């Protein structure tokens, strides 16, 4: 199953760290196509590119202005839309159905999500029915969809970590 992400309503100042963490987390979840709405944030995109320069380029991050148009296009292409919201159906009830799908677009919000998103989504899914964080919701859903495995970005990178019991060991791949 292939997954893409739509992150709604990024706010340049308030969400700068959280959105960065969401996008970087996508690198270990196998979600490489990312769309975001709200403020276009060149600094955020630059930071992501900087990390990917060292650790491998997997992400394709695009700022878009019309999320509903994207959703409609994706649906036409055969994608199933999975919106994460605390108001949705508990994920355990739907996870096996969603696992069988070929391509999904996962939607996460920040501030209030417009009601059209709930209507256009094929699944409105909750990770517990209390408010927490879009990052937590995304990671738990994706990790379950990946059968509790990481799907780490594994393209050629400049650096590689040699895991250590204690301390840090980072080597360059070109030396
Ligand atoms: N009122 C929001 C909601 O519908 O879930 C909570 C706002 S929260 C600050 C921002 C985003 O985190 C939401 O748009 C949703 O994608 C995600 N989120 C927060 N709690 C969640 C939960 N319990 N289950 C699924 N997603 C959640």
Q: How far is the CA of 88 from the centre of ligand 1 (A)?
A: 10
pTM of the entire predicted model: 0.97
Q: How far is the CA of 130 from the centre of ligand 1 (A)?
A: 8
Inter-CA distances, 121 with 30, 55, 94, 125, 149, Å: 21, 34, 14, 10, 26
Kindly state the average pLDDT of the residues 74-97: 98
Q: How confident is the model at residue 131 (pLDDT cuts 50, 70, 90)?
A: very high
User: Which residues partner with 172 through β-bridges?
Assistant: 159
The pLDDT score that the predictor gives to residue 150 is: 97
Does the beta carbon of 24 lie inside 6 Å of ligand 1? no
* 113 assigned to some structural domain: yes
- Express each pLDDT in 101-121 by its tens digit: 999 999 999 999 999 999 999
Lowest mean pLDDT among 86-90, 94-98, 121-125, 154-158: 154-158
Q: How many domains does the chain have?
A: 1
Q: Which residue's alpha carbon is nearest to atom 27 within ligand 1?
A: 85
* 171 assigned to some structural domain: no
Does the beta carbon of 127 lie inside 6 Å of ligand 1? yes
Q: Which residue's alpha carbon is nearest to atom 3 within ligand 1?
A: 85
* 163 assigned to some structural domain: no
Q: Say which CATH number the domain at 33 has.
A: 3.40.1280.10
Does the beta carbon of 84 lie inside 6 Å of ligand 1? yes
Q: How confident is the model at residue 53 (pLDDT cuts 50, 70, 90)?
A: very high
Percent of the chain surpassing pLDDT 70: 100
Does the beta carbon of 130 lie inside 6 Å of ligand 1? yes
The pLDDT score that the predictor gives to residue 20 is: 98
* 156 assigned to some structural domain: no
* 167 assigned to some structural domain: no
* 36 assigned to some structural domain: yes
Average pLDDT, the chain: 97
* 41 assigned to some structural domain: yes
Domain that holds residue 112: 2-150
pLDDT at 175 over 80: no
* 159 assigned to some structural domain: no
């Amino acid at each position: 199953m292939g997954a893409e992400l739509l992150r709604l309503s990024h706010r340049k100042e308030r969400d700068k760290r959280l959105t960065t963490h969401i996008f970087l987390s996508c690198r270990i979840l196998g979600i490489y196509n990312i769309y975001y709405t709200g403020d276009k944030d060149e600094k955020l995109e630059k930071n992501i590119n900087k990390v990917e320069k060292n650790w491998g380029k997997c992400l394709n991050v695009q700022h878009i202005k019309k999320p509903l148009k994207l959703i409609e296009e994706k649906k036409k292409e055969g994608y199933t839309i999975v919106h994460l919201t605390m108001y949705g159906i508990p994920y355990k009830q739907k996870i096996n159905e969603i696992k069988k799908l070929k391509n999904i677009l996962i939607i996460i919000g920040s501030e209030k999500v417009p009601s059209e998103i709930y209507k256009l989504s094929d699944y409105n899914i909750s990770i517990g029915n209390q408010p927490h964080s879009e990052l937590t919701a995304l990671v738990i859903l994706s990790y379950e969809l990946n059968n509790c495995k990481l799907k780490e970005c594994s393209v050629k990178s400049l650096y590689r970590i040699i895991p250590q019991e204690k301390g840090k060991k980072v080597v360059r791949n070109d030396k």
